[in-house]
Amino acid sequence: MTVRTRAAVVHQRGGGFTLDEVEIDDPRPREVLVRIVACGICHTDISARDGLFSMRFPAVFGHEGVGIVERVGAEVARIRPGDKVVVSFSSCGECSSCHEGHPARCGAFGELNFGDARVDGSSTIWDTRGEPVGGCFFGQSSLSYHALTRERNVIPVDAADDDELAVFAPLGCGVQTGAGTVLNELMPRPGESVLVLGAGTVGLSAVMAARLAGAAPIVAIDIVPSRLELAKELGASLVINGRQEDVSARLREIVGDVDHAVETTGLSRIIDLAMRSLSLRGKVSLLGIAADDPDERVTPRPPGRHQRVIHSIAGDSDPQTFIPFLIRCYKEGKFPFNRLIREYPASGINEAVRDSLDGVTIKPVLRF
């Protein structure tokens, strides 16, 4: 038995999104069918559309879904139909990393999140001719009116209505990643400095988390003036426009060496800047995925003996506990990530992607 619904399908590498009718499997014993209320668009979705993860096409992406549970498999114990949920990344629940509370370091993370089918090779999404469509992206493929996911992927949340639930969509990846990188991995102590390179969703979430941690000063670097203004409003002590200022000289002038750096661009020259900005015992978290311009590619400075480089995955977060924590902080007015969001109707997905790439919108969220 299947559920007929509509999904944002990409038919070929680098192509646009089209809202097509598809069939989605009924839940297997430990799976959950969610009616998607909203889904954030992340740069990882766009990179996947462009072929980064070698998924088959046609494909359905999306990994920041929120919605209401419609059906559950026979062995699902803690989730019920009618529950409001955030859908986050997938993990096996059986390896040592999962047992120790580090599902983002799951031994099966790659196959569970970057395949295009279940681990056993079976498809979850089909077109109207019965042909398989690439799915299971981050275990959800939630750029769709319905998503089939695993019980471990869903986090029950308290939301007053669909509008409040939609606000929680970016917690599934971008916001969780930026905040988790600071609070779970870098763990700055009060009064230690944090440098954030790139003021998008991940970077601005890192700024807000650094403020929660009591870090000071908090420095944000970007080239978009409106994002730098927002960074100041969200907790940055200082901002630097990388297009208008000598960033290294400005950092030396106002901060000196920094204790912690969050690099979100993935560009080699910015990674090098982060490395050269660190104190002797500094730590840097590398989060970005980007294709370097060959003319600007450099070899980043290697870490010193007492410096630490963290290749972060989802901020080393356990979504089952970390997402509810971030929601509590939001409701207490301490973590206003809603200010990053601009909503679009599902039919406006291609406009939302363009606005994201052009820097017009920080975090597009589609309403289904």
2-172+336-367: what fold?
Answer: Quinone Oxidoreductase; Chain A, domain 1 (3.90.180)
Exposure of 79 by Cβ count < 10 A (0-12 exposed, 13-18 middle, 19+ buried)? middle
Distance, CA of 359 to CA of 353 (rounded, Å): 10
The model's pTM: 0.94
CATH class of 177-312: alpha beta
The closest of 321, 347, 325 to 334, measured between CA atoms, is 325
Torsion of CA 286, 260, 247, 335, to 10 degrees: 90
How is the chain split into domains, by residue range? 2-172+336-367, 177-312
Q: How remote is the C-alpha of 40 from its chain's centroid? A: 9
Query: 329-350, pLDDT tens digit by residue?
Result: 999 999 999 999 999 999 999 9
Q: What is the pLDDT of residue 300?
A: 80
pLDDT per residue, tens digit, the chain (368 aa), is 689 999 999 999 999 999 999 999 999 999 999 999 999 999 999 999 998 888 899 999 999 999 999 999 999 999 999 999 999 999 999 999 999 999 999 999 999 999 899 999 999 999 999 999 999 999 999 999 999 999 999 999 999 999 999 999 999 999 999 999 999 999 999 999 999 999 999 999 999 999 999 999 999 999 999 999 999 999 999 999 998 999 889 998 888 899 999 999 988 899 999 999 999 999 999 987 766 666 667 778 888 889 999 999 999 999 999 999 999 999 999 999 999 999 999 999 999 999 999 989 999 999 99
Q: What is the pLDDT of residue 293?
A: 67
Spell out the alpha helix ranges (H) of 89-168.
Answer: 96-99, 109-113, 162-167
Q: What is the pLDDT of residue 53?
A: 84
Distance, CA of 322 to CA of 245 (rounded, Å): 36
Q: How many CB atoms lie within 10 A of CB 197?
A: 27
Q: What is the pLDDT of residue 228?
A: 97
Q: What is the pLDDT of residue 254?
A: 85
